[in-house]
Structures are given as structure tokens and as C-alpha cells.
Structure 1
């Protein structure tokens, strides 16, 4: 019987597997898709995520990031906050996945090309499609089949806000800044992440069902900076908000987006996934799997509080246009909020 079966071989699952192997566990990863796997995301790693990758013995090629800049749609109001605890990193999702996969292979972790469909558990082990393990970690994404199968999806209450979606495209253009830029309009935000000498990624977050180009047209300053740059196809993800009743169900534990997700607005998803992976393995090593729920809540508290607050303001028609001016008016508060997440 193996110690740890990780269902899902994205960054969260691979980070959990690597931490498990470094802790001396016998680990197996089940992931049906061949590496590297792409995903629609902002591709900006906060300093906490960079530190977490260092702890895994992983170096990801990319573009160093000094901080965050907020702008209104025409660039008249802007605010900047620099990271105080090291640099962030703009890195293609495929590169991040490739180096994590290489690290797992280096540690001798088997990555099985299979999709787990049936899970059952007893007092001392979990069985997943015939594979027996002491514990199973579900890292199977935003719409986790494992979370749904165990009845841990939390139904939205009355008055739920419209669901939000993410759309991402790459442009072959020289980055004009070493900051992640967040451009605000009435209906959506555009996140500009420098990724390399001649590449930027632009992710749009929105609750409106419009084509990517129609969303981007709301940002005239951004459109003018892109010009006629060569662009990649659009990739999408969502709905973004996913609620989970718990991160622990017997001998099954959840990490990454499968553990529940608020929104990509603050760009903290990967940092939380990577740090939670370390906490999950620590709880298992200490023989206290139930302690992971409190550990996850502690790690995610700032992310959940700030993201929910900012998302609430974004959904108020009178308040949303005031977010960039407020950040510019109170730079100290903006700096503090950014670095609380960083």
C-alpha cells in the first residue's frame, strides 16, 4: 500500500507529491493529461509563491516582478505598490508545470496516465480505482470531481452574484513594465503580466459573456500598447467561485483550486496552493490529517478576506469606478494590502 495518492498533476498536486517524497512518503500521482498542461491563468507568481518553489528545489524561468500597478481604463488614475519581501515572477504556466514535473520525476515519483473515477475509504486506507493508499489528496482542479463525488460542493445561497470567468491570451511584444498591471473598467479587469523579453500575458476577468476582443476594447490605453502584436488563441476558465464544505473528508484531503476558490482578482491562487501543499504534508507527517482544515483556513485567511472585500466593491456600481482612484489616494493602504498577500 502506498502512503499518498495524489489525484491531479497540476502545480498543487505536484507540489504536494514533492513535499510528500521529501518527507519520506511513498507517493504516486494520477494525471491523465501529458505534461506540460496549460491553463487559463494570470501567470504571475507572488513573492510567497517564489519562496515556496525555492523550498521545493524548483527554479522557474520567467520575468522578475517588482510589484503591482492599478490603473483605470484610460490610464489617468494609477497606483503602485512594490513588494517588500522579494520579487515575484511572471512565468508561463507550461514552464511552471514542466519544471515541477521534472522535479517529481527526479525524486522518483510515478506519474500514472490515468483518471480516477471511483473512490471509497475505510478506517485505515482509501481505494481509488483499485489503488490503495493510506491517504488520498485531491488536487483535481476548480471543478473537482472528487469534491463533487464526496458531496462537499457547497450550494450557492440566494442573491448570488453573477459568476466570473477568466480569459487569457499571450502577445509577442516587449513588456513595458516590470510590474503586474491591473486595468479596471466598469465591467471587467485586465491583468498584464510580463513573461519574457518579447511576451506579455493578458488575462481578463469578467462576469459578462462577451468575446475576448470585446472585453479588451474597454481598455484603450492597453489596446494602443499592444498594437499589431502577434497573439495566441484565447483560453478560458470558470466559473471561478467554488465553495467547499471542508478540506478534509476522512482520509481524503483537498489542495489547490479543489479546496475552494474565491476569485483570481488578487492573484494569490498559486501561492496559496503551494504553501497549503506544504502544510498538508506536515499534518500527515505528524499523524494529524484533521489539523489540515485549520491550517488551510489560517493560510488562506488574508486571501479570502481581501479578495471577498475587493470583489464586493467591484460588484457595487457606484464603488467599482472608485477602486483605482482610492488606491492612488491612499498609497500606504494599497501598499499594505498588496504586501499582506505577497
Structure 2
């Protein structure tokens, strides 16, 4: 059976758009299926690690934002700063990133179909979805991926501790060019400058975490935000911990959060998703097997982040910042490994 299109991407967020751009740059025909026809936002920290920027640049995308020189861990009585050795990252509003990627995808002729995927079928020659026959399907539809579920790739094992995200922006000039991570009693609070007059505050913690109460519980941060006007509505996301049995099944490849995600604690999700988009297209055009390449790409993230999440949700939580302060070389090595 002939195909209508080489690749159909389910999900029109940043990773879905990046996947479509990668495919077009490789000479493939592409369509995106996404039910939302407006700019897509998400509750996230919005800090692009240094390793994400070259991946965007190779797609021809350079979103506006604020330079990020490093990461600072803070507790009431300790702090640990690390400056990136491989160049600055960038704080970018998720909406600005989405619009930049969308503009590039449209420039390259990516077709967009406003629809929701309820089911699909596949055989040895292709995938049929929403009446469209494609050679390959990329599932880039996020944490709660319908593609992962329909393909039978949801991991039924208990996911362990599940945490959730909250995010809101405030109209205040950034006071630092570091990503600040404030370690509160039960949550981490990420402060990311995203414009000359705006900072994003993202909170990662257990379900029903109170945003305002958590910020008030960090006096130094509460003082910075005192009197500041909210520049966006409060958004939530999660649970973040999701697993897939494998990142692919036949001609269906899971990309980004759909392929499994440990936690948002290290800000690595977007860099990994961009890299997986590259790997998925390499697989389609005759490169190495996707599952093995995916495992190599995510290995450090899965190991380091899983360890940090275990510490953050267990009895060692209180020693994370003191240990990072006392062992700057170890702390810096972990940050650098994840930042690349």
C-alpha cells in the first residue's frame, strides 16, 4: 500500500515541531496532528540548558530570551553556585519557543492538521491514522501520550513517587543570570529569567502543593516578588514520572516526554526531546536503531535524575544543598553532565 506522507507527528508542542523540522530538513514529507490550533504553553521551568541551544540552531531556530550562566542551589542557610563551562544557556518563555519552532516548521512546508488521535493501525509498510497513510508515526504528544497507550507501550509497573509542577510569571526585572533552585521543605522552586522585565517561578512538588504558600515560605524570594504583578496565569502539569516499555513499536517511535520521563528536577526534558527528534529521523532515513540510540542519549539523565529524585523525596533531602556546597566539584560535574 502506498503512503500519503513519509512521517506523521502526533503532538504539536516543541518536540513535535522539532521532529517535523528534522524530518523536513532530511527531505521527508511531514504532517503534524494536534488538536490545539493556538500557541501551546506548559508549566515548566523554561530554562534551556547549554546543550539545547546548538540543537535548536541546527534546526534554524533561535528564540529570544535571557542568558543563563549557571545554576544556583539555595536553602535557608546554604547555597551552591555552578557556572556552565560550555557556554550560557537561555531562559525562554515556552510560548516564545513554540512560536519560533512553529514559524520555522511553516517555512519548511510542514502540514498541520487540527485533530485528535483516538486510534491508529500499523503494518510492516506504514501506519494509518485519522485517514492518513504514513510511512512512520512519531508520538510526541507529551507526558500522558495517547500514542504510547494505543501502541501498548504504557509501562504498567507502579511509577513510585509522583510529583507535579506549577508555574507563573511575574513582571519584575531579573536579579540574577543563574537559574535559582530554592529547596523548600517539600518542594523545589525554580526562578528563571525569561525577559528583561519578567521572571518565571516554577514549583515542583507533591500533589496539591500551594504555590503562594510555598513562595511565602522562602523569605528571600517572597521579598523579591513583593508587589510584583503576575504576568501570566497559574498553570499546572504532571505527574511527571512516566514510563514506556520501549521507545518504539514497529513504525511508531515515541519522542520526548511520550517516551518516558523521570522528573523535571534537572531541566533536561527539552534537550533530550530535541535529541530524540534527531535520532528518530536518523532511524527513518537509515541510521542506527532507535531504541539503542534513545537509551544512549538518555542514559545519564535517567541515572543522575533518578538518584537526585530519590534523594529529594527521601530522608537525604535536607543534605542536598549542604552537600553541593561542600563538594563543589562533584556538584559541578553533575550539572555539567546534564547541561551538555
TM range (shorter): over 0.9
* Alpha-carbon offset, residue 14 of structure 1: 0.7
Alignment of 1:211 with 2:210, yes or no, is yes
Q: How does 1:184-223 map to 2 (within 5 A)?
A: 184-223=183-222
* Alpha-carbon offset, residue 166 of structure 1: 0.2
* Cα distance between partner residues in 2 of 1:246 and 1:89: 31
* Cα distance between partner residues in 1 of 2:102 and 2:13: 9
Residue by residue over 1:168-208, the C-alpha shift from the partner in whole angstroms, topping out at 9 and shown as x without a partner, is 01011110100000000220000000011110001000014
The change in CA–CA distance for 1:287 and 1:78 in structure 2 (over 3 A counts) is: closer
How many residues are matched?
Answer: 335
* Cα distance between partner residues in 2 of 1:108 and 1:152: 31
Aligned residues of 1:35 and 1:101 also touching (Cα < 8 A): no
* Alpha-carbon offset, residue 82 of structure 1: 0.9
Q: How does 1:84-103 map to 2 (within 5 A)?
A: 84-103=85-104
* Alpha-carbon offset, residue 276 of structure 1: 1.0
* Alpha-carbon offset, residue 35 of structure 1: 3.2
Structural RMSD (CA): 1.1
* Cα distance between partner residues in 1 of 2:85 and 2:283: 30
* Alpha-carbon offset, residue 210 of structure 1: 3.1
Q: How does 1:302-317 map to 2 (within 5 A)?
A: 302-317=300-315
Aligned residues of 1:8 and 1:140 also touching (Cα < 8 A): yes
Alignment of 1:333 with 2:330, yes or no, is yes
* Alpha-carbon offset, residue 217 of structure 1: 2.3
* Alpha-carbon offset, residue 306 of structure 1: 0.8
Query: Which residue is 1:106 aligned to?
Result: 107
* Cα distance between partner residues in 2 of 1:214 and 1:156: 34
* Alpha-carbon offset, residue 156 of structure 1: 3.1
* Cα distance between partner residues in 1 of 2:256 and 2:140: 6
Query: Which residue is 2:261 aligned to?
Result: 261
Alignment of 1:152 with 2:153, yes or no, is yes
Aligned residues of 1:147 and 1:153 also touching (Cα < 8 A): yes
Q: How does 1:1-342 map to 2 (within 5 A)?
A: 1-72=4-75, 74=76, 76-157=77-158, 161-231=160-230, 232-286=232-286, 291-317=289-315, 319-342=316-339
Aligned residues of 1:35 and 1:97 also touching (Cα < 8 A): no
* Alpha-carbon offset, residue 162 of structure 1: 3.4
Question: What SS does structure 2 have at the residue aligned with 1:47?
Answer: coil
* Cα distance between partner residues in 2 of 1:274 and 1:35: 21
Aligned residues of 1:247 and 1:255 also touching (Cα < 8 A): yes
* Cα distance between partner residues in 1 of 2:207 and 2:243: 21
Aligned residues of 2:165 and 2:205 also touching (Cα < 8 A): yes
Question: What SS does structure 1 have at the residue aligned with 2:243?
Answer: coil
* Cα distance between partner residues in 1 of 2:330 and 2:80: 11
Question: What SS does structure 2 have at the residue aligned with 1:170?
Answer: strand
TM-score normalized with structure 1 length: 0.96
